[in-house]
């Protein structure tokens, strides 16, 4: 019987130890739970509200940027069309201008309408003149006094 009693005492001590360990665990869990404060619904609602407001603002800025980009692209297309039209106009004007800048045409107009003629060799006078440049250096220039050529030069230079 004593064996039963020793056995019962041993079991009793083990159950007491287990109860003490359970109490210690419950106290540590209670301490850790008490250290962690639960998040109140106010802060959760505030966080959700701020997130929604932030998403709305970002959406508005994205939409504004996108519309600006679309407007700029359409402006670029319009300007490209205008550039093509201007290029065509330039080409047309150059084609129209080409006969007026032809030297043979200018010469025929000068001889027929204005009665100009080429000078003979004895009518050409060479003039030596001293031309002063920006650096005040004298340069001797020999010029042919050909009225027709000087007139043509004036026409083409203007």
User: In this structure, how many other beta carbons lie within 10 angstroms of the beta carbon of residue 110?
Assistant: 17
Residue 140 has a pLDDT of 47
Rounded Cα distance, 93 and 71, in Å: 33
pLDDT tens, 89-98?
999 999 999 8
**Do residues 110 and 148 make contact, with C-beta atoms less than 8 angstroms apart?**
yes
C-alpha closest to that of 154 among 117, 120, 110: 110
Q: Is the pLDDT of residue 141 over 50?
A: no
Stronger pLDDT, 84 or 10, i.e. the higher one: 84
Query: How far apart (Å, rounded) are the C-alpha atoms in residues 101 and 109?
Result: 12
pLDDT given for residue 14 in this prediction: 77
Looking at residue 95, what is its pLDDT?
A: 93
Q: Which of 27-36, 79-88, 94-103 has the largest mean confidence?
A: 79-88
Which pair of tokens denotes residue 9?
């005492």
Is the predicted pLDDT of residue 4 greater than 90, yes or no? Answer: no
């Amino acid at each position: 019987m004593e064996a039963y009693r020793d056995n019962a005492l041993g079991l009793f001590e083990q159950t007491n130890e287990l109860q003490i360990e359970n109490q210690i665990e419950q106290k540590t869990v209670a301490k850790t739970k008490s250290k962690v404060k639960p998040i109140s619904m106010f802060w959760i609602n505030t966080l959700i509200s701020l997130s929604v407001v932030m998403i709305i603002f970002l959406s508005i800025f994205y939409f504004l940027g996108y519309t600006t980009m679309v407007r700029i692209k359409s402006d670029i297309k319009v300007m490209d069309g205008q550039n093509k039209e201007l290029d065509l106009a330039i080409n047309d004007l150059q084609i129209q201008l080409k006969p007026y800048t032809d030297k043979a045409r200018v010469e025929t107009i000068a001889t027929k309408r204005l009665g100009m003629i080429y000078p003979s060799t004895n009518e050409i006078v060479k003039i030596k003149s001293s031309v002063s440049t920006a650096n005040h250096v004298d340069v001797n220039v020999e010029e042919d006094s050909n009225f027709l050529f000087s007139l043509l030069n004036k026409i083409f230079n203007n």
